Amino acid sequence: MKIRTVLVDDEPLALERLRGFLAGDPDIEIVAECTHGLEAVDTLTRETPDLLFLDIQMPELDGFEVLEALDPEHLPVVVFATAFDAFAIQAFEARALDYLLKPFSKARLKESVARAREALEARRQRDRVDALLKDLEARQQRCSRFVVQQNDRALVLQAREVEAIEAEANYMWLYRGKETFSIRGTMASLEHRLDPTTFLRVHRSWIVNVPLITELRGREGGKVSACTASGLSVPVSTGSRKRLEDALAG
């Protein structure tokens, strides 16, 4: 995987040297070069690189001020490259991965890139784990059944049996075959709790169970309805038609 890299230094010769040293690494993709702090902030916000080589003493904003201007949740891996050793402690307090003291050798830069590669891989692994945990949490919170009231008894409906859900004020109507049940709640509160691989919101007031759709039927004005085996006809908004067709095709 390419390491999208930005170089920031107010000295053209320093940029040229850094660029030349990095040229032999097939994993490094230099997406931008900047010569002052304000330009760096704009570029980093736009490009969101993986790796940043950053000078400290520059016009307008110094290297530390550049980092302070960025979103701390989306900082790249930072390697300071400077001619001054007095900022080393401050650099690591700013969560820099490495501190290159000019003039540094190609071998020293190669070592820094190797550390950056390891740090990025570790970050990607953490991101994958976080994504899996969030997905697991979402699955655990998903609504797999409904408890509804029918006369003097409570019934349990499996979500997979519900053909469609219609919202009306603070109530929702659940359609199962020829039966209709009501529950309190709103479409917005329920939509994110339903399995998105099964249920799709196709209209401002309707969610449909995609596997239970038997056909799409044309309506006046070029619109369509999603029809189920029980004869239920669910209106599909123009903006939702393509998503529904893709879901049915998948």
122 to 88, 116, 134, 182, 217: CA distances (angstroms) = 24, 10, 18, 49, 50
The tens-digit pLDDT sequence of the chain (250 residues) is 799 999 999 999 999 999 999 998 999 999 999 999 999 999 999 999 999 999 999 988 999 999 999 988 889 999 998 888 777 777 777 788 899 999 999 999 999 999 999 999 998 888 787 777 666 565 556 778 888 888 778 889 899 999 999 999 889 999 999 999 999 888 888 888 888 889 999 999 999 999 999 999 987 777 899 999 999 999 999 999 999 999 999 7
Residue with tokens 């390419």: 2
* pLDDT for the residue numbered 186: 86
Nearest Cα to Cα of residue 242 among 195, 207, 202, 188: 202
Token readout for 22 is: 């990095």
> What is the set of domains in the chain, with CATH numbers?
3-138 (3.40.50.2300), 145-249 (2.40.50.1020)
* pLDDT for the residue numbered 71: 87
C-alpha 57/C-alpha 42 separation (Å) is 18
* pLDDT for the residue numbered 135: 63
* pLDDT for the residue numbered 188: 83
Residue type, 126: R
* pLDDT for the residue numbered 8: 96
Residue type, 239: G
